[in-house]
Amino acid sequence: MATAYLARQGVAFRGDNESDDSSNNGNFLELLELIGELSPQLRDRMAIRYGHYASPSYQNDIISCLAQSVRESVVGSIGPFWALLVDESKDASRKEQLSFCIRYACDGQIFEKPLGVSHMMEQNAEALATEIQQIVTTTKLSWENCVGQCFDGASVMSGHFNGVRPRIKAIAPHVAYVHCHAYRLNLVLMNTIRDIPEFVDVFSKVQSVYVFLTVSSPRHELFIHAQKESGLEVLELERLVETRWYY
């Protein structure tokens, strides 16, 4: 129950210090202690020296079991055909993560479900294609029922000769490639606006304001205070990034 709750909320399981003399043992152990106040059986179990099954390795095992159960449930609900959606991005710790999703139709409705995220030590096409193949095999999906692969326009993903795209084609020749339409539309808008000086000037000034207010903590605090004093909803400025939908 504790594992399912923390996983559902997307919060960290472990603390910096989980020793007996620590004032905060992390969310998982602290939650077990709280539940133990209402459950004598769990409290007695946690009081003995061994057999808690609450160490970091056991936590990881339980999380893996829950994840596998969710994946099996998703795969079991897929209709006869499915399409592959893959993208990669750095997380907050600057680790490269590969997200794996599937798109399918069931009872006339279209669904998109994530099946996992993989930490990629290498970002070349061979490593990415190998990881995709590994996920497909592990989740017991069938390449015979795969009808499409959808990526962005990065050469490592969509390259005609050395990208992930032809490597998937080598495994399943019938799988059609689709360049992400949302990404293509964003590229069109981005390049169109670059040819309009007024818009370029506006976005340049917005970016300058963001830099001015965020690189200095005192200026940022004044910015927040000014909004509160004026009775406005407190808003934060965002960094201008071409792959986001500012255009």
Model confidence over 135-183: pLDDT tens digits?
A: 999 998 999 999 999 988 888 888 888 899 999 999 999 999 988 888 8
User: Cα dihedral angle (68, 74, 76, 78), rounded to 10 degrees?
Assistant: -150
Rounded Cα–Cα distance for residues 136 and 128 (Å): 12
Residue ranges per structural domain of the chain: 2-70, 77-179, 189-247
- The runs of H, that is alpha helices, within the chain are 2-9, 27-36, 40-47, 56-76, 125-138, 155-158, 164-171, 181-193, 197-214, 217-229
Indicate the pLDDT class of residue 246, thresholds 50, 70 and 90: low
Is the pLDDT at 132 greater than 90? The verdict is yes
169 closest CA partner among 71, 50, 44, 84: 84
Q: Quote the distance between the C-alpha of residue 235 and its chain's center.
A: 25
CATH architecture classification, 77-179:
2-Layer Sandwich (3.30)
Model confidence over 183-202: pLDDT tens digits?
A: 888 888 888 888 889 988 98
pLDDT for position 47: 67
| Residue 98 and residue 104 in contact, taking contact as beta carbons nearer than 8 Å | no
Other beta carbons within 10 angstroms of residue 143's beta carbon come to 15
* Maximum CA extent, the chain: 71
Rounded Cα–Cα distance for residues 96 and 88 (Å): 7
